[in-house]
Copies of this chain bind each other. A is one copy, B any other.
């Protein structure tokens, strides 16, 4: 076990990982040979294997492009083989073989991550779960769904939606992200405020360990206190301990009434005041409280071709959503909240969605931000948790540092936008810096400064996006040494050869 850990710490890594700097390939990992390919062909149906001529296959490397690069095109691997098994037994056979032969493997869901966690770094075999996409069972009384890991979140939400329930998580990438990836990365998203963490709503997991062992903990029980809750370790482990092949999750009743309003807010202090009052007035039906600044709004209106529902511009915008079982009650609760906010001047303008289409458009203003910033330029993304009162301070702070460095003053400078948006109720800010291109003279102004800033407020350098390749060297800013040591021991216990998602997390 210790051998594997030592081997990894020998990598010739600089103290700080720079953009595009890859850790060196671990020479302990085997390079694929024709006999490996023969094994894969024996185990898997031909149509589930993509292999380039470099490993004796016939696939055009272009076909592997979507598996090798992340959607922001920031991280890129060089895998020559993609395996897309259809059954848990196939996953088990593949992993057992790779483990015995020290072949590195990167498990991949919808590949919608933001920290380089789901793409290979070098020539790891990509193990895609997309062919495992069936609902296994659904219990109509309890609302508990059990399904393959490769089910797409939005499709699952439609499935349970037709049966009167709703998935307890929702995020911008819902159309392509997979539930297994959501669980592996402990995805947060926009319903977190209402339904909480996946550590609470995931009831069971089926996980294949590197040695091929299938851990069957696919429980459908809300309560089960029989020994240590092992499944929790895999939630948020980013595919580095085992491959999640099945998930059972409790889904809440689908709300029959949904209301959405967008508000124009004069200051960040007022955003906090509005949040406090929203919790008090809307209580149990408050299902989202999102905020973003004027820079985000400018980008999203432009790139999504939307029109603001408000008459003028504001420093901050808030989206409030209520979801409940009684439309009249919710209308009354939200109505009295908005009235109170306007009267007190906490909010200066507001618009209430009148129909489904307006609700979708308002959500697009929030959910379209990442894509719109991406279209504006090369986007540095930080996803941090810090105490709510100081949450937005870092945006002005970073802007100031960039100005001082002469990088963000005029339109000729490389940095175009420094902005923030996020989930205020969760203390979670998405800090974004948009530049003309990724370059070190920009990066080094705010990295590791951002992490130091977060650490000084006892925050988290990754609220919901995970560690992946991007933050591996920065883990120490959020977790003490003793905890990282035990994480390494747990990694060594489940994956002694370190074949699963190497170069990531730890």
Give the number of copies in the complex.
Answer: 2
Which of these, B232, B280, B423, B461, contacts A325 with CB under 8 Å? B280
CA distance A221 to B429 in the complex (A): 12
Which of these, B142, B283, B326, contacts A255 with CB under 8 Å? B283
Nearest Cβ on chain B to A437's Cβ, whole angstroms: 28
Residue ID in chain B nearest A228 by CB atoms:
B487
B residues near A216, Cβ cutoff 8 Å: 480, 482-483
Q: C-beta contact mask, A373-412 vs B, less than 8 Å → 1, else 0?
A: 0000000000001111100000000000000000000000
Beta-carbon contacts under 8 Å, A143-193 to B: 185-186, 188, 192
B residues near A500, Cβ cutoff 8 Å: none
Residue ID in chain B nearest A217 by CB atoms:
B483
A229/B232 contact (C-beta < 8 A), A196-B196, A221-B463, A385-B221 known: yes
Would you call A142 and B427 a contact (CB within 8 A)?
yes
Which of these, B215, B217, B333, B385, contacts A326 with CB under 8 Å? B333
Residue A443, interface by CB 8 Å? no
CA distance A491 to B225 in the complex (A): 16
Residue ID in chain B nearest A185 by CB atoms:
B225
Would you call B192 and A223 a contact (CB within 8 A)?
yes
A23-31, A233-241, A358-366: which lies at the B interface? A233-241
Nearest Cβ on chain B to A425's Cβ, whole angstroms: 8
Would you call B282 and A325 a contact (CB within 8 A)?
yes
Residue ID in chain B nearest A250 by CB atoms:
B196
Residue ID in chain B nearest A241 by CB atoms:
B228
Nearest Cβ on chain B to A171's Cβ, whole angstroms: 13
Would you call B479 and A227 a contact (CB within 8 A)?
yes
Which of these, B232, B236, B255, contacts A225 with CB under 8 Å? B236
CA distance A460 to B226 in the complex (A): 7
CA distance A280 to B228 in the complex (A): 34
B residues near A227, Cβ cutoff 8 Å: 236, 467, 475, 479, 483-484, 487, 505-506
Beta-carbon contacts under 8 Å, A422-442 to B: 423, 425-428
Which of these, B141, B462, B489, B506, contacts A388 with CB under 8 Å? B141
B residues near A130, Cβ cutoff 8 Å: none
B residues near A141, Cβ cutoff 8 Å: 272, 276, 388-389
Residue A465, interface by CB 8 Å? yes
A53-61, A104-112, A197-205, A343-351: which lies at the B interface? A197-205
Would you call B281 and A325 a contact (CB within 8 A)?
yes
Would you call A283 and B324 a contact (CB within 8 A)?
yes
Residue A213, interface by CB 8 Å? yes
CA distance A458 to B505 in the complex (A): 35
Would you call B284 and A459 a contact (CB within 8 A)?
no
B residues near A425, Cβ cutoff 8 Å: 222
Which of these, B329, B333, B475, contacts A332 with CB under 8 Å? B329
B residues near A478, Cβ cutoff 8 Å: 224, 226
Nearest Cβ on chain B to A340's Cβ, whole angstroms: 14
Residue ID in chain B nearest A188 by CB atoms:
B223
Which of these, B225, B232, B463, contacts A466 with CB under 8 Å? B225
Would you call B487 and A222 a contact (CB within 8 A)?
no
Q: How large is the interface on A (under 10, 10 to 19, 20 to 34, 35 or more residues)?
A: 35 or more
CA distance A465 to B225 in the complex (A): 7
B residues near A489, Cβ cutoff 8 Å: 493
Would you call A427 and B228 a contact (CB within 8 A)?
no
Would you call A186 and B486 a contact (CB within 8 A)?
no
CA distance A475 to B463 in the complex (A): 35
Interface centre among A276, A281, A326, A388 (most CB of B within 10 A): A326
Would you call A464 and B225 a contact (CB within 8 A)?
yes
Which of these, B197, B253, B480, contacts A280 with CB under 8 Å? B253
CA distance A499 to B386 in the complex (A): 38
Would you call B284 and A325 a contact (CB within 8 A)?
yes
Residue A285, interface by CB 8 Å? yes
Interface centre among A214, A285, A462, A483 (most CB of B within 10 A): A483
B residues near A214, Cβ cutoff 8 Å: 482
B residues near A272, Cβ cutoff 8 Å: 141
Residue ID in chain B nearest A193 by CB atoms:
B222
Residue A84, interface by CB 8 Å? no
Would you call A139 and B224 a contact (CB within 8 A)?
no
A199/B232 contact (C-beta < 8 A), A141-B388, A227-B475, A458-B220 known: yes
B residues near A226, Cβ cutoff 8 Å: 460-462, 467, 471, 475, 478-479
B residues near A196, Cβ cutoff 8 Å: 196, 200-201
CA distance A227 to B226 in the complex (A): 25
CA distance A279 to B241 in the complex (A): 38
Give the 3 A-B residue pairs with the shortest CB-CB distance, closest first.
A200-B200, A283-B325, A232-B232
